[in-house]
C-alpha cells in the first residue's frame, strides 16, 4: 500500500501509519477490503439524482458501515481509525465530492 491509499486526510494518514507498524500490519488486507467496499458503495450512491434521497442513503450506509466495523475482530485502534476514514469519506460525499479519496 502506498501512503495515499485511503486519501491524504489526517485520518487516512494516521490509519496508514498505524497499519505500517509490525503490530498491526496483519489488519491491512481487512481494512483495505472494508474501505474499498465503502468507497465503491459511496460512488454508486452519489449517482442518485435526488439530493434528499442521496443524503439519506449515505447516512444509512455510513451507519451500517460503522456498525459492521465495530463488530469486526480487529484491534480497537484499527477500528477507530477505519471509522474515522469512513466518516471523512461520508462528510466529503455530503459536500458533493464524487471521489472522496484525494
The tens digit of pLDDT for each residue in 4-58 reads 567 778 888 889 999 999 999 899 999 999 998 998 999 899 999 999 999 999 9
Residue 58 neighbours by CB under 8 Å, 6+ apart? 42, 45, 90, 93, 94
pTM: 0.86
Q: What are phi and psi of 3, to 5 degrees?
A: -60, -20
> Would the pLDDT of 3 be above 70?
no
Residue ranges of the domains in the chain? Answer: 10-94
Question: What pLDDT, in 10s, does the model give residues 66-81?
Answer: 999 999 999 999 999 9
Interhelix angle 10-19/28-45, rounded to 10 degrees, is 150
- Model pLDDT, residue 65: 95
Amino acid at each position: 500500500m502506498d501512503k495515499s491509499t485511503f486519501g491524504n486526510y489526517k485520518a487516512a494518514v494516521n490509519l496508514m501509519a498505524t497499519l505500517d507498524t509490525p503490530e498491526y500490519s496483519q489488519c491491512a488486507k481487512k481494512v483495505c477490503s472494508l474501505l474499498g467496499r465503502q468507497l465503491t458503495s459511496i460512488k454508486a450512491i452519489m449517482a442518485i439524482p435526488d439530493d434528499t434521497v442521496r443524503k439519506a442513503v449515505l447516512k444509512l450506509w455510513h451507519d451500517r458501515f460503522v456498525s459492521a466495523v465495530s463488530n469486526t475482530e480487529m484491534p480497537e485502534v484499527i477500528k477507530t481509525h477505519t471509522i474515522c476514514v469512513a466518516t471523512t469519506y461520508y462528510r466529503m460525499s455530503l459536500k458533493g465530492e464524487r471521489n472522496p479519496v484525494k
